[in-house]
Amino acid sequence: MATAADVRKAALALDGVSEVDHWGRTAYRTSKRIFAVMRPDGLFLHLPEERKQFLFEAAPEVFVKLMWGKSTNVTVQIAKASRTELQSLIREAWQHAMPAPKKSALRKTSPRKELQP
């Protein structure tokens, strides 16, 4: 059984994560966005839509739908999730919230001509 302390430990172990206040709740963010928020009813995770749908169907007693306007979000009942599963989901939400890598400009070089003996 996972706890809020497990959530904190897992989130802060990830590269570039900071703990912030989000409307009086503990949240974890990358430089781009918040990816996890501790709520009284569980842990909100920012996950891709297809992943959320899978979780709702796989274990509705653990992964609860939270509607925000027309958007469906997931709240994890952390007391019903294993530490391993929770760590994996936190990492997944973190990866989803990471800034896209910048494209580097590659110099075009002409192919080398082989030297004739």
> What's residue 68's pLDDT?
81
pLDDT of residue 63: 97
- What pLDDT digit, counting tens, does each position of 48-68 carry? 999 999 999 999 999 999 888
Question: How far, in Å, are 44, 47, 68, 99, 110 from residue 94 at the CA level?
Answer: 12, 9, 20, 10, 40
pTM of the model: 0.81
Q: How confident is the model at residue 105 (pLDDT cuts 50, 70, 90)?
A: low
What proportions of the chain, in percent to the nearest 5, are helix, strand and coil? Answer: 30, 25, 40
Write the class of the CATH domain 4-97: alpha beta
> What is the pLDDT averaged over residues 7-29?
96
How many residues in the chain? 117
**How far is the C-alpha of 30 from the C-alpha of 99, rounded, in Å?**
8
Listed by start position, the domains of the chain span: 4-97
